Amino acid sequence: MTEKANTAKGIDATDEALLAAFDEALWLEDGLARASRAAYATDLRAAARWLSASDVCLGEARLSDLRDYLAARSASGGFGARSQARAQSALRRFYAWLLRSGRRSDDPAARLKSPHLPRALPATLSAGQVEALLAAPDIDDPVGLRDRAWLELMYATGLRVSESVGLPLHAYSAQQGLVQVMGKGRRERLVPVGDEAAYWLARYLREARPMLAGPRPDEALLLSRRGHAMSRQNAWQRIRLHATAAGISGKLSPHSLRHAFATHLLDHGADLRAVQMLLGHSNLDTTQIYTHVARARLKRLHAEHHPRG
């Protein structure tokens, strides 16, 4: 990293004891998995080794020490903004624990300035990929017909996966072509379903749901093969199964259809406020990211197809 890092003497025994106690607290108090705890340990040990070159213990470091360490880490050129953010997160959690457990009377990491992270654009599907995905389920099977109706519903409404599998039967009104959704913060919204999704939901309700319901039917709209409400885990499994059948590579989740719903609406001129209402976003800034996706797609299409692209 720097000459200072190369002359680090190793981790002080007091720091070793603190790191071991912190790791135990992450497990006992927060239930963190082994991989997450290992990531914290890696970042904190790197900081402890660097500080030891100046005879500073990690447990006794001041704000200026932490700033010097992060500045040297950044200057080395081997760490990006996300890596810096992760290192800061480890330091913040460590010193907050020291303060909370009475091992320190102050928190030197509380005033660290977070690095600016580039906003990641959500991955989305093209219209052709969506069509292939929607056509993938075997509609001769009751669960396949349910999946077709569910995928059509997801793409037509932009529901979160938890919202879709949590829909009670009475939330969908075929007569009005609307679905009543209970979103985050228990905020209700009405979302239009559209003719294509309504057609597949009607077929599912008529042909498949009675076969899945069993003698004591669940009140959920979407049922599993055992007659219970479809679970989030099952939703992830099914969409990956159908993505493979449709020849769609890469990471795909139920949320991908929500991204496609929003992006395709904006691509076709929908008002951002309307998309915000349909998605159930409380803040317009959350919806705003989809305009960047739409712009990126337009730029790519222009570059590919325009004579002077």
Q: Is 268 labeled as catalytic in the residue annotation?
A: no
Whether residue 9 lies in the annotated active site? no
pLDDT(91) > 80: yes
Q: How does residue 47 score in pLDDT terms, banded at 50, 70 and 90?
A: very high
Give the pairing of strands 178-182 and 188-192. Answer: antiparallel
Q: What is the pLDDT of residue 1?
A: 42
Residue 274: how many CB atoms within 10 A of its CB? 12
Q: Are strands 188-192 and 172-173 parallel, antiparallel or unpaired?
A: unpaired
Considering the domain 3-111 in this protein, what is its CATH number? 1.10.150.130
Q: Of the CATH numbers 3.40.50.300, 1.20.1300.10, 1.10.443.10, 1.10.3720.10, which one belongs to the domain with range 127-305?
A: 1.10.443.10
The domains of the chain are located at: 3-111, 127-305
Whether the pTM exceeds 0.75: the reply is: no
300 catalytically annotated? no
pLDDT digits (tens, 9 = 90+) for 191-201: 888 899 999 99
Q: pLDDT-derived band of residue 5, with 50, 70 and 90 as boundaries?
A: very low
CA distances from 268 to 153, 159, 271 (A): 19, 19, 10
Place of tokens 């406020």: 273
Q: What is the pLDDT of residues 212-243, one digit of tens each?
A: 997 777 899 999 999 999 998 999 999 999 99
160 is catalytic: yes
- Mean of pLDDT values over 274-293: 64
Active-site pick, 49, 228, 255, 292: 255
When the pLDDT of each residue in the chain is averaged and rounded to a whole number, the result is 84
